[in-house]
């Protein structure tokens, strides 16, 4: 029998704080896309409380709950892993339950109970074997530099530097997202930023393992990445990926100054190192879940967008802490690609209603998810990472 070791005392107490108000049902993008209430936080907590009572001989006397069979646990896991971990349920919970953290602990519990979707094993295998979630050759992590018009002889892999740009797996390997690091390298060059890449010494940050419930498998990644940054003598690390930024912010030792790229570009803007020309466009901004609800950063990206001469920013009906997920988080694409696509469809429909000619975001996964949908459906809408917007404005 599995113990309660995957949950903190605080999480166990919070399970009973749920009042069955159903607010989490109303705001869940997975429920909205499928109409299936079993994907909601309310269902998840109700089932989890029964599991916890059944595991406790004392509580079982009073509640009479029976342990779920392995088949029932696996059926439950299918609902738990069909979730983007967007955190909107947590943001909306009147009882203040830290639901996103609870879902991560629940996933870990299900993995330790041997009740999880088989595709989770692929994530673990890929990262262990290739140090990236896509099982690509990690020696090719910085190959995107070769696609630049005039790359430097050292390909930005320098022995020592003040700043490390931690590229992230998606931008490193997906052509649809590789324009983001190319744009940022150009901005850094024109702004005089002394930076380096880690190249093949950059390993996955560990976020996909965290979301897969494999919380005991990323300590070696953390140790390796910390030593790789130290070897460069760097003080600052910049992330264009909110998930990498969030992983370092919450799980890595606080030995460096860490910045999401919007925060670092804001510094360049404030010190007069960003020089932008007029760019007449109407855009809307999509708040990435891991940058907005998870890290609380809503101001820096909007400040950057509004700093571009000629830009008109129009907000979506749901923005900031209420922003609708793009469908790309929580490893959902790997577990249920169809559901991920349905969530992206709702997101794009809301964007179109703003009348904007482009949607700007600050996440390589959001760019990839939304771009995939508009290309597949031949929708006239441009998707830009904020780095690409600033690059366009600087002309670099």
Query: Quick one: pLDDT at residue 61?
Result: 47
Query: Quick one: pLDDT at residue 395?
Result: 84
Residue partners of 121: CB distance under 8 A and separation at least 6: none
pLDDT in tens, 83-118: 999 999 999 999 999 999 999 999 999 999 899 999
Q: Which of 288, 291, 286 is nearest to 247 (CA)?
A: 291
pLDDT of 62 above 50: no
- What is the percentage of the chain residues whose pLDDT exceeds 70? 95
Residue partners of 207: CB distance under 8 A and separation at least 6: 243, 244, 246, 247
Q: Which of 330, 339, 283 is nearest to 311 (CA)?
A: 283
Query: Quick one: pLDDT at residue 71?
Result: 77
Query: Quick one: pLDDT at residue 127?
Result: 96
Alpha helices (runs of H) in 19-168, residue ranges in sequence order: 23-27, 29-34, 41-55, 57-63, 70-80, 88-92, 99-112, 119-130
pLDDT in tens, 125-168: 999 999 999 999 999 999 999 999 989 999 999 999 999 999 99
Rounded mean pLDDT of 349-361? 98
Structure-token pair, residue 121: 């094993």
In order, the DSSP letters of 142-155 are: TGGGGGSSS--TTT
For residue 194, the tally of other CB atoms under 10 A from its CB is: 12
Residue 357, beta-bridge partner list: none
Burial 223-256 (b: 16+ CB within 10 A, else e): ebbeebbeebebebbbbbbbbbbbbbbebbeeeb
Work out the angle at residue 279's Cα, subtended by the Cα atoms of residues 317 and 362, and round it to the nearest 5 degrees: 50
Class (C level, CATH) for 275-394 = alpha beta
Answer whether 303's CB lies under 8 Å from 274's CB.
Answer: no
Domain ranges of the chain: 9-117, 120-269, 275-394
Query: Quick one: pLDDT at residue 342?
Result: 97
Answer whether 33's CB lies under 8 Å from 342's CB.
Answer: yes
Residue partners of 104: CB distance under 8 A and separation at least 6: 85, 210, 211, 213, 215
Rounded mean pLDDT of 299-307? 98
Rounded mean pLDDT of 196-205? 98
* Architecture of the domain delimited by 120-269: 3-Layer(aba) Sandwich (3.40)
Instruction: Give phi and psi for 69, each to the nearest 5.
Output: -70, 165
Query: Quick one: pLDDT at residue 2?
Result: 42
Mean pLDDT across the chain: 93
Class of residue 274 by CB neighbours under 10 A (exposed 0-12, middle 13-18, buried 19+): buried
Query: Quick one: pLDDT at residue 5?
Result: 79
pLDDT in tens, 371-394: 999 999 999 999 999 999 999 999
Judge if 120-269 and 275-394 fold alike in CATH terms: yes
Rounded mean pLDDT of 278-289? 97
Answer whether 313's CB lies under 8 Å from 283's CB.
Answer: yes
* pLDDT-wise least confident of 61-65, 141-145, 176-180, 343-347: 61-65
Answer whether 389's CB lies under 8 Å from 308's CB.
Answer: yes
Query: Quick one: pLDDT at residue 67?
Result: 66
9-117 to CATH, choices 3.40.50.300, 3.40.30.10, 3.40.50.970, 1.10.1060.10 = 1.10.1060.10
Determine the Cα–Cα distance for residues 181 and 186; give it in Å rounded to an integer: 9
Rounded mean pLDDT of 12-18? 90
């Amino acid at each position: 029998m599995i113990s309660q070791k995957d949950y903190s005392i605080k999480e166990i107490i919070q399970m009973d704080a749920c009042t069955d108000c159903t607010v989490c049902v109303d705001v869940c993008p997975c429920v909205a896309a499928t109409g299936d209430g079993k994907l909601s936080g309310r269902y998840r907590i109700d089932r989890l409380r029964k599991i916890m009572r059944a595991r406790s001989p004392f509580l079982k006397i009073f509640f009479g709950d029976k342990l779920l069979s392995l088949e029932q646990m696996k059926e439950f896991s299918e609902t738990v892993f069909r979730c983007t971990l967007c955190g909107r349920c947590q943001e909306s919970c009147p009882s203040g339950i830290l639901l996103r953290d609870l879902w991560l602990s629940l996933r870990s519990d299900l993995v330790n109970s041997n009740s999880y979707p088989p595709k989770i094993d692929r994530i673990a295998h890929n990262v262990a074997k290739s140090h990236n979630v896509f099982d690509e050759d990690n020696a090719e992590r910085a190959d995107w530099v070769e696609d630049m018009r005039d790359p430097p002889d050292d390909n930005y892999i320098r022995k020592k530097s003040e700043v490390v740009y931690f590229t992230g797996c998606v931008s490193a390997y997906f052509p649809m997202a590789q324009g983001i690091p190319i744009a940022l390298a150009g901005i850094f060059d024109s702004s005089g930023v002394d930076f380096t890449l880690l190249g093949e010494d950059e390993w996955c940050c560990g976020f996909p393992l965290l979301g897969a419930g494999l919380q005991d498998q990323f300590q070696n990644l953390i140790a390796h990445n910390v030593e790789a940054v130290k070897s460069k003598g760097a003080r600052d690390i910049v992330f264009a990926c909110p998930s990498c930024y969030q992983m370092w912010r919450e799980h890595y030792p606080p030995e460096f100054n860490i910045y999401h790229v919007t925060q670092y570009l804001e510094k360049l803007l404030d010190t007069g190192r960003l020089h932008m020309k007029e760019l007449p466009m109407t855009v809307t901004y999509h708040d990435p879940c891991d940058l907005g609800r998870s890290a609380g950063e809503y101001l820096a990206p909007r400040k950057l967008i509004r700093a571009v001469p000629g830009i008109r920013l129009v907000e979506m009906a749901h923005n900031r802490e209420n922003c609708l997920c793009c469908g790309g988080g929580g490893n959902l694409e790997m577990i249920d690609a169809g559901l991920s696509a349905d969530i992206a469809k709702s997101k794009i429909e809301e964007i179109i209603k703003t009348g904007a000619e482009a949607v700007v975001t600050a996440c390589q996964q959001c760019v990839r998810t939304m771009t995939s949908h508009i290309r597949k459906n031949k929708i006239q809408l441009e998707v830009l990472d904020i780095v690409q917007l600033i690059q366009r404005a600087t002309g670099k």
